[in-house]
Chain A
Amino acid sequence: MGLHLINSTSASSRQCLGTLTSAAHSAFVAGTWFEDASSRWSTSPNVPGGLQSRETQDRRKAFRILIADDHEAVRRGLKSALMGAGWQVCGEAFDGKEAIERTANLKPDLVILDISMPNLGGLEAAREILRSASGTKVLIFTMHESRQIRAETAALGVHGIAVKSAPLSTLLATIDSILRPS
């Protein structure tokens, strides 16, 4: 399983760092999602670029995502973006402790964790979720862009890291790659 690590601090310098599976890498280049010519396209005002194929929407709606961030504005923004892109948002959590509890109850396919949260931070929550909820994948979504944070996060064995300063399209591509069936 590959680690998907995006460094997107500016529009002009997006790189994919870390080790990716070859299948994930081909989908991952430049954060762009390519569909084959037989796909039918539908417009979606909520998705950057406005277009996504019906196949993409159908594929995404099978997956359930839990969002954990202590800022309501971030949770609302993520929920709006994810649902607009076709995924289900099955729950929200305000801190790491709640994220662990709701993951155990709801068994999401993916949990998106902020690092800096009260009571229990995202890294500690990620550690516990990876240990106890084998069917749930973990994406760290953080404002921290330091190498040290990336190294600590990578060492945990999470499935992806995305920075909050990156364009929305990059985040969506990261999630697609994590949830793409192997």
Chain B
Amino acid sequence: MSALQILVADDHDIMRRGLRSLIETQPGWEVCAEAHTGTEAVEMAGKLHPHVAILDIAMPELNGLEAAKQIRQASSKTEILVLSMHYSDQLIRDMVDAGVRGYIIKSDSDRDLVVAVKALANHKPFFTPHATELMLSSLGDPHGAMPESSDEIKQRLTPREREIVQLISEGRNSKDVAVALGISVKTAETHRANIMRKLRVHTVSELVRYALRNKIIQA
């Protein structure tokens, strides 16, 4: 029987080594690749088609959530486990929408990582009881269940726009964004203008605050 192939993506070298060490305690499990950005993770997942991809939520260039969406397209059989520092009901909703079926917080990784990977390897979802409770309470909450207004729908950013919000919030200018995404500077500037209009912000610092509130970047 071939080994369970696992991709590990985290921008912290020590965390990646530690996750590898935890994974390699399991017989038949193998870390087939490591990535330190979301972009690398997507590239490697597309090439190697791992059984499971473990993604840190907060990575430079492309965060774990956006990387998860792209990995689902590039490698549909790869199950995804997202790690974050804190619980967030908005994040859980976004992840479920993105097709992510596993979520744990880093402080529980000792206890939950192996169990989560085993579940995902068998194509079963894994959310901790606390995460499940958050999901259920947001479903039952009348405020959480309100249908989106047309304003809210218009404000929803496309995946590309969310990528650009992250890059701008990390300090990149339009030229840097264009290079990073392989688009023209004019296209990058058009996206930027659309984003600012949708979000009704006028400055980069307002955009950064939006990105922080919506967990596109972390403080």
Contact = CB atoms under 8 A, between A and B. Distances in A.
Interface of A: 10, 70-81, 143, 164-165, 167-168, 171
Contact of B14 (A10, A72, A77): A77
7 interchain residue pairs of minimum CB distance: A77-B18, A73-B18, A77-B17, A72-B110, A77-B14, A76-B21, A168-B13
A78 B109 contact: no
B108 to A, nearest CB: 9
A79 B22 CA distance: 12
A74 B110 contact: no
Contacts of B17: 76-77, 80-81, 168
Interface residues of B, number: 18
Contacts of A167: 13
Contact of B18 (A70, A80, A143, A171): A80
A109 B16 CA distance: 26
Interface of B: 11-22, 60, 106-107, 109-110, 113
A164 B22 contact: no
Contacts of B13: 77, 81, 167-168, 171
A35 B17 CA distance: 26
Nearest to A70: B107
B11 A73 contact: no
Contacts of B12: 143, 164-165
Contact of A77 (B21, B107, B110): B21
Most chain-B Cβ atoms within 10 A of its Cβ — which of A73, A77, A143, A168?
A: A73
A171 B19 CA distance: 18
Contacts of A80: 17-18, 21
Given A77-B16, A77-B17, A81-B17, A72 B11 contact: no
